[in-house]
Amino acid sequence: MQTMIIAHRGASEQAPENTMPAFDLAWRMGSEGIETDVQLTKDNVPILIHDERINRTTNGRGYVKDYTYHELIQLDSGQWFNPSFSGTKIITLEQFLNWIKDKPLYLNIELKNNKIDYKGLELAVLELIAHYKVANRTTLSTFNPNSVNRLHKLNPTIDSALLLSKRKSSNLVQHAKALGANALHIKYRMLTPEIVEACRRESMALRVYTVNSSKHMLRCFQLGCTAIFTDIPDKALHFRKLYEDHH
């Protein structure tokens, strides 16, 4: 099984994360999927941004939840990364889905609700992916176990993943399954042959983040991980081809 290459927040090493330039570049590089993060504005608009606060990736300050969508789109979302991207705007999940709907890309939407448990985020995202008819190629992931459970109750057929950065139980696969998830998304340092085998036994997808070194990529390919999330999709595609050519 070939390990899928997913652009983490778009091609985020070469363009500002979670913006149209980063997504567009990932698509042009040949990425097979795109991962992005969603949060809710003060007026309940799902927008794409990783941090709960806007300080790092915009020229504003404070929490996403304290701003309306209209206020947030006044901000510059590219200047922090490189002056050549100044004028880049925060985008909504709807704008992103409108862009991706005609492209044959796998989609991973991370619900950023582990620190701020946004009320109604699951339903808002489910409604949009249904409207744009991309549910069959979308995984919704979250660090929040209650959110995984809510997703399963709202839509038992949706592909959902429990995100983990460290081992929280001896049987992660059973824990994720009990919540209603059908995938595990783990930090690279958690990757072991045992976790790969446990996922395989339960037919559970295993995707690994954030894999940027060729050595780590190679290990994911060798172990047969379902996918990797990477900031450098062009290099990952190149390394995967080299690996396949030698096996």
What's the pLDDT score for residue 167?
80
* CATH code for the domain of 168: 3.20.20.190
For 94-114, what is the mean pLDDT?
Answer: 98
* pTM: predicted TM-score of the whole model, two decimal places: 0.98
What's the pLDDT score for residue 1?
85
Q: What is the count of structural domains for the chain?
A: 1
Question: Per the domain annotation, does 109 fall within a domain?
Answer: yes
Question: Per the domain annotation, does 74 fall within a domain?
Answer: no
Question: Per the domain annotation, does 234 fall within a domain?
Answer: yes
* Segments forming the whole domain that contains residue 127: 4-52+91-245
User: How many other C-beta atoms lie within 10 A of the C-beta of residue 244?
Assistant: 11
Question: Per the domain annotation, does 39 fall within a domain?
Answer: yes
Q: Where in the sequence numbering do the catalytic residues fall?
A: 8, 50
Question: Per the domain annotation, does 155 fall within a domain?
Answer: yes
Question: Per the domain annotation, does 225 fall within a domain?
Answer: yes
For 56-85, what is the mean pLDDT?
Answer: 98
Question: Per the domain annotation, does 124 fall within a domain?
Answer: yes
Please write the tens of the pLDDT for every residue from 152-204: 999 999 999 999 999 877 789 999 999 999 999 999 999 999 999 999 999 99
Please write the tens of the pLDDT for every residue from 106-151: 999 999 999 999 999 999 999 999 999 999 999 999 999 999 999 9
